[in-house]
């Protein structure tokens, strides 16, 4: 456990649309709100910058690492407020033609990018009129990523990763797991909260899950329910739908209490 003192964190919930500039404006406004309320670590949802009309829309705004308006926005916002900022996911150019990487970037209070995670599990779901297949436009990442900062040790994941507990085990012991997401309404209603709480309970850490929540301009409907969960699996704060901010405090004393009372992490055999 790296945490030395309690830390106010916030998850941004959005209903991202088809205009990059409007989405960045909304994200900026909500970051400002969370920062003004004292949050020192703020996390944006998956696809915060664009949920386009077509799969190919991501290609039009894909950036090269370290360059582009989305990355500049994230760098500027983290530096402006002196916060740790997770850009839920943005499209980065990939080596495969007509496909992008779905990438989470973390910036420090100086506006420097300190971590990058390319989503490794690609979502697909088909039932009736609902049909999704991320592999049509996205290349899977190849490795897990954690970032140990002066304020907390953080495990990175994105959306569909939530269904793969072995990813979180492989990250090792962390203080906080980030799960920026755009869960569909159907799968979110069924599984979102129970999976998030399970990840918090089994890894005995906090989980901060910023989500997309509402009916989007492209017709997609997402579940929302961004939340912060403590190491005992208790939901500290949640927002059902629409844009807004979910915030709360993560506390090293609470982490220690849970791990000492029930030392499951030390009891692992496999």
d(CA 205, CA 158): 17
Residues carrying an active site annotation: 46, 119, 159
Phi, psi of 129 (to 5 degrees): -80, -15
**Cα Rg for the chain, rounded, in angstroms?**
17
Tokens of 155: 């495990």
Tokens of 136: 């049509």
**212 close to 16: Cβ distance less than 8 angstroms:** yes
Please give the sequence-ordered ranges of beta strands (E in DSSP) within the chain, or none if there are none: 7-13, 41-43, 84-93, 100-107, 113-118, 124-127, 130-133, 138-139, 146-148, 153-156, 176-178, 206-209, 213-215, 221-223, 226-229, 235-239, 244-250
**155 close to 178: Cβ distance less than 8 angstroms:** yes
Show the CA angle centred on residue 200, arms to residues 195 and 203, nearest 5°: 115
Phi, psi of 131 (to 5 degrees): -150, 120
d(CA 152, CA 132): 35
d(CA 269, CA 259): 17
d(CA 200, CA 223): 20
């Amino acid at each position: 456990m790296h945490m030395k003192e309690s830390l106010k964190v916030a998850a941004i919930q959005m209903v991202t649309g088809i205009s990059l500039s409007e989405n960045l404006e909304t994200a900026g406004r909500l970051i400002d709100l969370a920062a003004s309320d004292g949050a020192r670590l703020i996390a944006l949802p998956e696809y915060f910058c664009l949920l386009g009309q077509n799969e190919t829309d991501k290609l039009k705004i894909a950036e090269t690492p370290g360059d582009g308006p989305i990355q500049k926005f994230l760098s500027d916002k983290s530096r402006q407020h002196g916060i740790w900022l997770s850009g839920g996911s943005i499209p980065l150019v990939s080596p495969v033609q007509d496909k992008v990487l779905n990438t989470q970037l973390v910036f420090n209070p100086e506006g420097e990018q300190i971590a990058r995670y390319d989503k490794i599990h690609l979502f697909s779901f088909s039932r009736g009129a609902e049909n999704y297949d991320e592999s049509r436009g996205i290349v899977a990442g190849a490795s897990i990523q954690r970032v140990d900062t002066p304020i907390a040790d953080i495990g990175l994941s994105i959306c569909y990763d939530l269904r793969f507990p072995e990813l979180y085990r492989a990250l090792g012991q962390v203080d906080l797991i980030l799960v920026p997401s755009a869960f569909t309404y159907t799968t979110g209603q069924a599984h979102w909260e129970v999976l998030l709480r399970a990840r918090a309970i089994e890894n005995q850490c906090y989980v901060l899950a910023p989500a997309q929540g509402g009916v989007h301009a492209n017709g997609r409907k997402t579940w929302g329910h961004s939340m912060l969960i403590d190491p005992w699996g208790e939901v500290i704060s949640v927002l059902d739908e629409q844009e807004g901010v979910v915030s709360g405090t993560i506390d090293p004393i609470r982490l220690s209490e849970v791990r000492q009372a029930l030392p499951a992490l030390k009891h692992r055999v496999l």
